[in-house]
């Protein structure tokens, strides 16, 4: 009998293979009380386990195939850096000393403390960083217990791995041994394992709860990484269908790769800009691989997180200069620190006292509000941006704008920074464009006013949809209400695009909608010509736009603005997409 399982498809592609079910050894983390004399030896034991775990990761990194994508090693580097970080190195040692407990209990205590911090985060990417912390802690725990499993075997070629979770190192090992795909019981769309699976081209599904209870080792599975569907013991007809789709997918990717060097222009001659969103400097390699026109959104707040002091001006400068040089003349849009809410800085890093956590931090002191409230946080970043501007083209993007007074204050601060740099004899680009994020309904409604003061606008649909519909898209109880097609959302997007056209300034869109094949033609029909998206979404979005005529799409897009019936919305969307 065929069994069907649903999960979150995180890496497209279909696969067929025998099931290999992994059951990891669970390390005992029971707390033990130590005598004062035992504490130094326990600290040495933990440091030795961390050293051994690091050696294991270094070995994995050094054995990455030469023909693998160039950014693959960065995922392993992330875990190596975590093992060097005081959060997982010094703090557990301090716990051992202060509480006279064993290393396992100290690590578990630190894991729980970090889980509380990451559990409050609204940003998907940041919230899923707890997965990486768990992977690293589990590695150290296994070293402490002398239970270092060799998960991936030479005979795994063509098999589909079923596991509770997998680390990036596991994923690289699986690719080296030709695993057909994998399914995990936990994990999310933005975990490093999911991102790595996409980069390596391994079909993958996560979040299939308790699948290991039902799948028998060795039975035939099919895996659909786009739709998040696993079939156990499929019929012959199902197998034939999957094989046809595998062939079609290979042909499609070959066709998409042909578009890498193609300029993006619609069938009716409208030239479009396709930029990439990046989180960290290592993402630049993925940007170059798909030949994006530039970077439409660089989230700089990662420089501030997981540390006990603010990044210095020189730290900012080195990172920005490196990214600009790597882009070789393409534009870098650098969003100033969007901190607060789910991206809190350590209290020890703050230069001004902070009040207790707000009841609703998403609507509290965050984004540009925080930067203007604490200019000692903001000014070093601005100085670094202007200094780096001599290396290549750069734009400044201000997050979370709600009123024009914030723009006035920021422009005044920018002029003061420029004057200081002139007095110091430091070269910089005098004409760096300054733009604003439109991600709050008030800003979209007042887009004409913002457009008259700024050089460009960028629509952040992820937050705009949440704030407009008053829902949290990562809350399982209400995320069904997250609807990019809601007429209020579309009206706000259109207001912003029209404001840019009227003021003759560029308007981009950098939310998830920009890279979603279901919505790119709709956005084109609403007048958008500048899209920014994750690098792995760019080629498919390009294909959709190259095959589009805005003159044909526009009337259906305008009709969608006025439609409230869900069925009618989908009918119009199908017409826009030529279905």
Q: CA of 531: how far to CAs of 405, 457, 520, in Å?
A: 28, 12, 8
The reported pLDDT for the residue numbered 174 is: 77
pLDDT at residue 573 tops 80: yes
- Domains in the chain (CATH in brackets) are 3-24+150-238 (3.50.30.10), 36-144 (1.10.274.10), 263-271+436-579 (3.20.20.60), 293-432 (3.20.20.60)
The DSSP code for 305 is S
Confidence bin at 178 (pLDDT 50/70/90): confident
Of 172-176, 429-433, 534-538, the least confident? 172-176
From the number of C-beta atoms within 10 Å of its C-beta (0-12, 13-18, 19+), residue 141 rates as buried
For the ranges 205-214, 238-247, 449-458, the one whose mean pLDDT is highest:
449-458
Overall average pLDDT of the 313-323 stretch? 94
Q: Confidence class of residue 280 from pLDDT cuts 50, 70 and 90?
A: confident
Query: Residue 294: pLDDT band by 50, 70, 90 thresholds?
Result: very high
Q: How far is CA 116 from CA 83, 108, 119, 363, in A?
A: 20, 13, 5, 20
35-44, 159-168, 297-306: least confident range: 297-306
For 72-113, write each residue's pLDDT tens digit.
Answer: 566 677 788 888 888 888 899 999 999 999 999 999 898 888
Average pLDDT over residues 357-368: 62
Q: Which pLDDT does position 343 carry in this prediction?
A: 45
Which positions are catalytic? 192, 510
pLDDT over threshold 80, residue 322: yes
- Give the separation between CA 294 and CA 284, rounded to whole angstroms: 10
What are 432-459's pLDDT values in tens digits? 999 999 999 999 999 999 999 999 999 9
Count of H helices and E strands in the chain?
22, 16
Residue bearing the bigger pLDDT, 166 or 404: 404
User: CA 458, CA 516: separation in Å to the nearest integer?
Assistant: 17
Q: Which of 7-16, 330-339, 375-384, 407-416 has the lowest mean pLDDT?
A: 7-16
């Amino acid at each position: 009998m065929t069994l069907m399982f649903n999960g979150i498809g995180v890496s497209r592609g279909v696969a067929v293979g025998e099931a290999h079910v992994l059951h990891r050894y669970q390390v005992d983390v029971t707390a033990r009380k130590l005598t004062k004399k035992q504490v130094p030896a326990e600290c040495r034991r933990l440091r030795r386990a961390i050293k051994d775990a690091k050696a294991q990761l270094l070995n994995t990194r050094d054995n990455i195939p030469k023909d693998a994508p160039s950014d693959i090693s960065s995922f392993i580097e992330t875990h190596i850096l975590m093992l060097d970080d005081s959060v997982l190195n010094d703090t557990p040692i301090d716990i051992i000393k202060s509480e006279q407990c064993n290393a396992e209990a100290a690590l578990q205590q630190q894991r729980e403390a970090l889980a509380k911090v990451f559990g409050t985060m609204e940003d998907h990417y940041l919230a899923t960083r707890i997965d990486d912390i768990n992977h690293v802690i589990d590695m150290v725990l296994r070293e402490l217990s002398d239970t270092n499993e060799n998960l991936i075997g030479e005979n795994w070629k063509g098999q589909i791995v079923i596991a509770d979770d997998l680390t990036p190192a596991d994923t690289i090992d699986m690719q080296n041994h030709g695993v057909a795909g994998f399914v995990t019981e936990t994990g999310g769309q933005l975990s490093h394992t999911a991102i790595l699976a996409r980069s390596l081209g391994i079909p993958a599904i996560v979040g299939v709860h308790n699948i290991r209870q039902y799948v028998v080792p060795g039975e035939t599975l099919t895996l659909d990484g786009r739709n998040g569907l696993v079939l156990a013991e499929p019929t012959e007809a199902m197998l034939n269908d999957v094989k046809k789709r595998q062939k079609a997918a290979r042909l499609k990717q070959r066709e998409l790769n042909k578009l890498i060097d193609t300029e993006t222009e619609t069938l009716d001659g409208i030239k479009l800009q396709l930029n990439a969103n990046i989180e960290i400097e290592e993402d630049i390699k993925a940007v170059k691989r798909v030949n994006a026109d530039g970077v439409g959104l660089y989230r700089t707040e990662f420089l501030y997180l997981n540390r006990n002091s603010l990044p210095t001006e020189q730290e900012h400068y080195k990172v920005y200069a490196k990214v600009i040089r790597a882009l070789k003349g393409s534009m870098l849009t650098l969003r100033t620190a969007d901190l607060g809410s789910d991206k809190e800085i350590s209290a020890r890093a703050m230069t001004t006292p902070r009040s207790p956590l707000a009841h609703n931090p998403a609507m509290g002191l965050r984004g540009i509000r925080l930067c203007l409230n604490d200019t000692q946080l903001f000014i070093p970043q601005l100085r670094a941006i202007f200094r780096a501007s001599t290396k290549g083209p750069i734009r400044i993007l201000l997050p979370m704008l709600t009123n024009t007074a914030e723009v006035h204050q920021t422009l005044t601060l920018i002029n003061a920074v420029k004057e200081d740099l002139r007095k110091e004899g430091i070269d910089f680009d005098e004409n760096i464009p300054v733009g604003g994020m439109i991600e709050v309904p008030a800003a979209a409604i007042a887009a004409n006013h913002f457009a008259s003061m700024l050089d460009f606008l960028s629509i952040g649909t992820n937050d705009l949809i949440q704030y407009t519909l008053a829902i949290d898209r990562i809350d399982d109880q209400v995320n069904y209400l997250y609807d990019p097609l809601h007429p209020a959302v579309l009206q706000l997007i259109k207001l912003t695009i029209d404001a840019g056209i009227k003021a003759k300034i560029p308007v981009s869109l950098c939310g998830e909608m920009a890279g979603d094949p279901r919505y790119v033609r709709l956005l084109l029909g609403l007048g958008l010509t500048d899209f920014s998206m994750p690098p792995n979404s760019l080629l498919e979005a390009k294909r959709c736009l190259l095959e589009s005529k805005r003159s044909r799409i526009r009337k259906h897009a305008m009709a969608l603005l006025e439609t409230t019936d869900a069925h009618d919305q989908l009918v119009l969307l199908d017409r826009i997409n030529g279905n």
